[in-house]
Amino acid sequence: MAKKNKAAEVAATEGENAIALHETAGLSQGQIIRKRFFRHKPAVASMIALIFITIFVFSASGIHLGTEAHPITIQGWWKYSLTDIPDTNFCETSVGCPNADHPFGQDPIGRDYFALVMRGAEQSIMVMLIVGLIGGLLGTVIGAVSGYFRGWVDAVLMRFTDFIITIPSIIIGAVLGFKFGNLGVVALAIYLGLFSWTGLSRLVRGEFLSLREREFVDAARVAGASNFRIIFKHILPNAMGVIIVSVTLMLAGAILLETALSYIGFGVQAPDVSLGSLISEYQDSFTVSPWLFYWPGLLIISIALCVNFIGDGLRDAFDPRQRRRITRKDLLAATFKKPSSEA
């Protein structure tokens, strides 16, 4: 019985290997990764949804950078802005109910809530992207240098990383938001990005500690390659799976951190808004004007879920050890594939 089970396992493994070779024959590493990613339907759907949300938000709200004293503004297609106060729409139970002119309703002072939500989503997406860019760059470089050189370089960098990790991120964010929140969302996102790289650096360090002992690294050293070239040309591409997946998780964490900071009043400062500040400001209106709470919350959940699903798809695409279900079609294609000389 044990021999039969063993034989069945060997046959299954050979079948999976045959299918994998059939699917990846003649493809580059990038094409293989792309094919695996597009097979992950939730990740593809999330990527399309996130692109649509981003384009819709920025085209509706426009682009707003700089500070209150020195603004840089490109107007969007929506007719109302944050400062416009049109005539308030009244309904039986509340004021500012949604209608054709104000699809998201109006806030208690009459501002168009669609304009506020689009502006808040724009701020949150900008924080997410800037924090991911800065945190991903710092975490990759620090982890790569630490894992490759080891010794006292590793000890110094990792002890510094441990020190940053011991400080709760919400406290760092609150201090930075209180100090720099009035400088605009870009400045706040840059300062948050400077403290968001620690987890990624430890993961990258672990990958480099393992990869630096591989044969291709020894071959590069024998060929006379410099340490810089070995790190960024030979080892780093082999660690991109861990880096990309970790950065996507960092993006989701960044938008939730910004939401939490704005909710407690240490994020984006008035008169500007973010999704977290909108939820905080109108949480008491939930029973009489629930739309003031629903729309920001729905956007926060949608963006965070999209990023997490994309990260899940990237993990499956970069990990060659991921098993997939073998279908009858796959087995037939792998079994009856013609040799290349007969094609």
| Domains in the chain with CATH codes | 33-84+120-335 (1.10.3720.10)
**DSSP string across 224-256:** T--HHHIIIIIIGGGGHHHHHHHHHHHHHHHHH
- Dist CA 90 CA 80 (whole Å): 19
Q: Which of 254, 222, 214 minimizes the C-alpha distance to 238?
A: 214
Tens digit of pLDDT for each residue in 61-105? 877 666 566 666 777 788 887 777 776 666 666 667 778 788 888
Average pLDDT (160-187) is: 76
Say how many residues make up the chain.
Answer: 343
Whether the pLDDT of residue 2 is over 90: the answer is no
Inter-residue contact 105 to 289 (CB < 8 Å): yes
Burial level of 254, CB count in 10 A (0-12/13-18/19+)? Answer: buried
Sequence-ordered list of residues with C-beta below 8 angstroms from that of 99, at least 6 positions apart, any chain: 89, 105
The confidence score (pLDDT) of residue 325 equals: 44
Q: Which two tokens stand for residue 27?
A: 């493809």
Tens digit of pLDDT for each residue in 290-317? 878 888 889 988 998 998 899 888 888 8
Tens digit of pLDDT for each residue in 215-271? 888 888 888 888 888 888 888 888 888 888 888 888 888 888 888 877 777 777 777
Q: Are strands 71-75 and 62-66 parallel, antiparallel or unpaired?
A: antiparallel
Quickly count: other Cβ atoms within 10 Å of residue 279's Cβ: 21
User: Which pTM value belongs to this model?
Assistant: 0.77
The confidence score (pLDDT) of residue 340 equals: 45
3-state secondary structure of 288: coil
The confidence score (pLDDT) of residue 90 equals: 65
